Chains A and B, each alone.
Chain A
Amino acid sequence: MFFSLSFWLTFAVAQADTVLNFWTISLSPTFNDYIETTLERYETAHPGHEVVWRDFSGDALYFELLNALDSGNVPDVVNLNVPLVLEFAERGTLQTLSEDALSAYFPRMVDALRAAGTAYAVPWYITPPLVIYNSQIFEAAGLDPDAPPETVAQLITTAQHIQDETGTYGFMPNVGAQRMLYRFAEAGLPLLSDDGFDALFNSPEHVDLLADYAAMFQEGYFPEDVLLRGYVGALERYNAGQLAMLITGPQFLTRIADTSPDIYAVTRVAAYPLAEDGVLHAPLMGLAIPTGAALDPALTLAQFLTNPASQVAFAEVATVYPTTAEASNAEFFQQDDGSLEARARRVQAGQLNQASDLTLDVPNSKDLYEAFMKAIEAAFYGHKTPQEALEEVVIFWNSRL
Chain B
Amino acid sequence: MLIFRALYFALMLSMMTGLAQTPLPMRYVEDAYAPRTARAEIVPTPQEEILGESIFQLPAQATLWLAEPTPALNQAVNDLKLTVGRVGEVNLDVLEAPSPDTTSPDSTDDSIDVTDAAHIRIWSLNDTSSAQLEALNIRPVTEAEGYVLAIHEGGVDIVGADERGMFYGLMSLQQLVRAGTDLQTRTVRDYPNLTWRIAMIYLDANANINETLIPILAQHKLNAVLVMSNYLEWDSAPALHMPGSASKQLARRTVDTARLYLMEPIPLLETFGHVQWMFQNNQNNDLLLDPTAQSRFAYNPLEPRTYDILLPLIDEVIDLFNPRFFHIGHDEIRNVVPFPASEVSFVDAFVDDIQRLYNHLAADDIRVMIWHDTLLAADVAPAMARLPDDLIVTSWNYNPSPNYPTVDTLQEAGFEVLGASWFEPDNIYTYARYANARNALGMIQTRWTGYFGNSSLLAGQFPQAYAYLSAAQSFWNPQVDALEDAAIRFREAWAWRTETARSREISAGYLVDLSQQANRHLVATDTQAWLGRGPDYDMRALFEASQENSFRLAGIRFALGPVISLQGRHRRVSEDSERVRLILNQDAARLALLHTTGWSSADTGDDVGRYVVHYEDGSSTPIPLFYNVNISAWTELEVTAISLGQVWRGQAPNGLGVSADLLTWDNPFPERTISHIEFMSTGSIANPILLGLTILDE
Contact = CB atoms under 8 A, between A and B. Distances in A.
A164 interface: no
Interface in B303-337: 334-336
A377 B656 CA distance: 19
Contacts of A232: 334-336, 338
A108 interface: no
A396 B600 contact: no
B655 interface: yes
A364 B341 contact: no
A26 B294 contact: yes
A385 interface: no
A377 B379 contact: no
B338 A240 contact: no
A399 B537 contact: yes
A265 interface: no
Interface string A184-201: 000000000000010000
Contacts of B600: 363-364, 367, 400
Nearest to A196: B571
Contacts of B379: 236, 240
Chain A interface main SS type:
helix
Q: Report the 10 A-B pairs with minimum CB-CB distance, sorted nearest first.
A: A26-B294, A258-B341, A364-B602, A259-B341, A399-B635, A232-B335, A364-B600, A395-B656, A30-B292, A395-B654
Contacts of B340: 258-259
B128 interface: no
Given A240-B379, A367-B602, 6 more contacts: A90-B602, A229-B335, A364-B599, A364-B602, A392-B655, A400-B600
Nearest to A255: B338
Nearest to A25: B294
Contacts of A58: 294
Contacts of B335: 229, 232-233
A363 B654 CA distance: 22
B602 A399 contact: no
Interface residues of A, number: 32
A377 B424 CA distance: 14
Nearest to A31: B292
Nearest to B376: A225
Interface of A: 25-26, 30, 57-58, 87, 90, 197, 229, 232-233, 235-237, 240, 242, 255, 258-259, 363-367, 377, 381, 392, 395-396, 398-400
A5 B294 CA distance: 30
Nearest to A59: B276
Contacts of A363: 570, 599-600, 602, 685
A197 B534 CA distance: 14
Interface of B: 292, 294-296, 334-336, 338-341, 377-379, 399, 533, 536-537, 570-571, 599-602, 633, 635, 652, 654-656, 685
A368 to B, nearest CB: 9
19 contacts: A25-B294, A58-B294, A87-B602, A197-B571, A232-B336, A232-B338, A236-B338, A236-B379, A240-B378, A363-B570, A364-B599, A364-B600, A365-B602, A377-B399, A399-B533, A399-B635, A399-B652, A400-B600, A400-B633
B338 A259 contact: yes
Contacts of A233: 335
Contacts of A399: 533, 537, 635, 652, 656
A398 B599 contact: no
Nearest to B633: A400
A236 B377 contact: yes
A373 B250 CA distance: 38
A363 B536 CA distance: 21
Contacts of A364: 599-602, 685
Nearest to B337: A232
A366 B533 contact: no
B291 to A, nearest CB: 8
A398 B341 contact: no
A398 B533 contact: yes
Nearest to A365: B602
A25 B294 CA distance: 9
A237 B379 CA distance: 10
Given A232-B335, A235-B338, A259-B341, A400 B378 contact: no
Contacts of B338: 232, 235-236, 255, 259
A366 B334 contact: no
A242 B377 CA distance: 13
A365 B600 CA distance: 10
B635 A400 contact: yes
A395 B635 CA distance: 11
Nearest to A260: B341
B298 to A, nearest CB: 12
Contacts of A395: 536-537, 654-656
Contacts of A229: 335
Nearest to A258: B341
Contacts of B635: 396, 399-400
**A87, A229, A365, A377: which has the most chain B beta carbons within 10 Å?**
A229
Contacts of A87: 602
Nearest to B285: A29
A214 B652 CA distance: 29
Contacts of A396: 635, 656
B378 A242 contact: yes
A57 B294 contact: yes
A400 B639 CA distance: 17
A235 B601 CA distance: 37
Nearest to B400: A383
Contacts of A90: 602
A400 B599 contact: yes
B602 A366 contact: yes
Nearest to B638: A367
**A25, A30, A363: which has the most chain B beta carbons within 10 Å?**
A363
**A236, A237, A240, A377: which has the most chain B beta carbons within 10 Å?**
A236
Contacts of B570: 363
Nearest to A239: B338
A366 B460 CA distance: 13
A233 B600 CA distance: 34
A345 B601 CA distance: 41
A17 to B, nearest CB: 32
A363 B296 CA distance: 31
Contacts of B399: 377, 381
A225 B633 CA distance: 34
A58 B336 CA distance: 14
B131 to A, nearest CB: 57
A258 B346 CA distance: 14
Contacts of A392: 655
A365 B685 CA distance: 13
A232 B297 CA distance: 14
Nearest to A366: B602
Nearest to B635: A399
A236 B379 CA distance: 9
Contacts of B294: 25-26, 57-58
Nearest to B294: A26
A213 to B, nearest CB: 18
Nearest to A197: B571
Contacts of A26: 294
Nearest to B339: A259
